[in-house]
Amino acid sequence: MPGGFGTAKNITKWAFEGPNDPILESVKKLIVELVAQGKPIAGLCVSPTTIAKALEGTEYHAHLTVGTSEEASPYEIAAISAGIESIGQVAEMVSVREFVVDKKLKIVTVPCYMMEASIVEVRDNIKQAVDALIALT
């Protein structure tokens, strides 16, 4: 699932309303069905908020990341992570050089441009996600 604020503005309204936002029902259904069937998912940049919102109220409690508050970011990583936690998911703090794999739910997430990062760092972070996704298949 690519990141960018398209997901946080169009699929959900997280960019405007935080975790209290609605989510497109068709996207929620797709994500929940993928998780239920054990299909791997990768979430880049801010898209882990969409995954979190889709899993809200389900039996699933994913380990996700949007970055870390320990390094520079143009966004309020601690607040976004708290929002993820507030809807029943687990937010993990990692840098743009790291990734999170929820092995049980087969979900890989990376922060990418949620952190102050060069295009090379973002490329490498995306590659980590793709490699981990392939390993889960």
Amino acid code (one letter) for 72: A
- Span 61-119, pLDDT tens digits: 999 999 999 999 999 999 999 999 999 999 999 999 999 999 999 999 999 999 999 99
Model pLDDT for residues 84-97, shown as the tens digit of each residue: 999 999 999 999 99
Would you kindly state where each structural domain of the chain is located, as residue ranges?
A: 5-136
pTM of the model: 0.96
5-136 belongs to which CATH class? Answer: alpha beta
Q: How many CB atoms lie within 10 A of CB 14?
A: 25
- Hey, what are 72's tokens? 């520079």
Where do the DSSP E strands lie in 2-116? 41-44, 63-67, 90-93, 100-102, 107-110
